[in-house]
Amino acid sequence: MSEKKSGKRPDGRAYNDMRPVKMQVGVLKHANGSAYVEFGKTHVYASVHGPKKVHPRHMEDGEKAILRCRYNMIPFSVNDRKRPGYDRRSVEIAKVISEALQPMVFLEEFPKSAIDIDLEITQADAGTRVAALTAASLALADAGIPMHDMVAAVAAGRANGEILLDLTKEEEDAKDAVDMPVAMAHRDNKVMLLQMDGDMSKEDLKQMLIVAKEGCSELAEMQKAALREKYKVE
């Protein structure tokens, strides 16, 4: 971990500090696996149902399970009430989260089955897709779905000329803002998701990848601790 500068961000964080993170596994009684994750004021629930029979049947794959993901920001998750229901943004986010997780899951062990991941953003202050992806990975593990590895995700970016980890909405709204959500596998830091919004130099990109990697490593430790907490042997 690189040295932390004394914080000069609006909330007092150093450039490479995460917001306060909370993680809990097994929070939903009726799901096969579940997790709750907070990155500061961004709060998300993830549930996993399955492996189960596929409905509608024509969607099933005889060779492997299908991994279906749904992402939703509830109406009171943002300042102005958000119109309930799905939009292009939620469909895109569900797609990138699903594509980041698919290579991790042993789908071929469950032919003709579906694994459903539902992500509900109860409060949004930027970084919802990365918090949701982090929670989804935990919920899959909690459901006992066999995986090659787990995934942690965080956004790096730039605001007011500074490279930053885990931007808030206030920081994302800066004129020169760059937002770069990144997801990495625990063991080898393989990049499972990388998106970018804004203009940046090669040097900025390099720095952002460095802080994102540090953030993902911190989150990976917290994910393992959250799982250990639920499954500890008394």
The pair of structure tokens assigned to 57 is 């049947």
Binding site for ligand ADP (CB under 6 A): 78, 82, 89, 124-129, 169, 172, 179, 181
The least CB distance from residue 194 to ligand ADP, in Å, is: 13
At 89, which helix (H) or strand (E)?
Answer: helix 88-101
Neighbours of 106 (CB within 10 A): 12
Whichever of 4 and 89 has its CB closer to ligand ADP, that residue is 89
Q: Shortest gap between Cβ of 109 and ligand ADP (angstroms)?
A: 31
Q: Least distance (Å) from ligand ADP to the CB of residue 128?
A: 3
Beta carbon nearer to ligand ADP, 82 or 213: 82
Q: Reduced to 3 states, what is the DSSP secondary structure of residue 98?
A: helix
CB of 41 to ligand ADP, least distance (A): 9
Q: Which is nearer to ligand ADP, 66 or 126 (CB)?
A: 126
At closest approach, how far in Å is the CB of 69 from ligand ADP? 14
Instruction: Give the amino acid at 161.
Output: G
Task: Round to the nearest angstrom and report the end-to-end CA distance of the chain.
Answer: 33
Written in H, E and C, the secondary structure of 27-71 is: CCCCCCEEEEEEECCEEEEEEEEEEEECCCHHHCCCCCCEEEEEE
Q: Which residues pair with 24 in a beta bridge?
A: 36
| 115 vs 156, beta carbon nearer ligand ADP | 156
Our CB check for ligand ADP shows the closer of 90 and 207 to be 90
Residue 218: other Cβ atoms inside 10 A: 19
Question: What is the rounded distance in angstroms from the CA atom of residue 14 to the CA atom of residue 4?
Answer: 6
Minimum distance, C-beta of residue 202 to ligand ADP, in the bound complex (Å): 23
Do residues 50 and 116 touch, judged by C-beta distance below 8 A?
yes
Residue placing its CB nearer to ligand ADP in the complex, 69 or 114 = 69
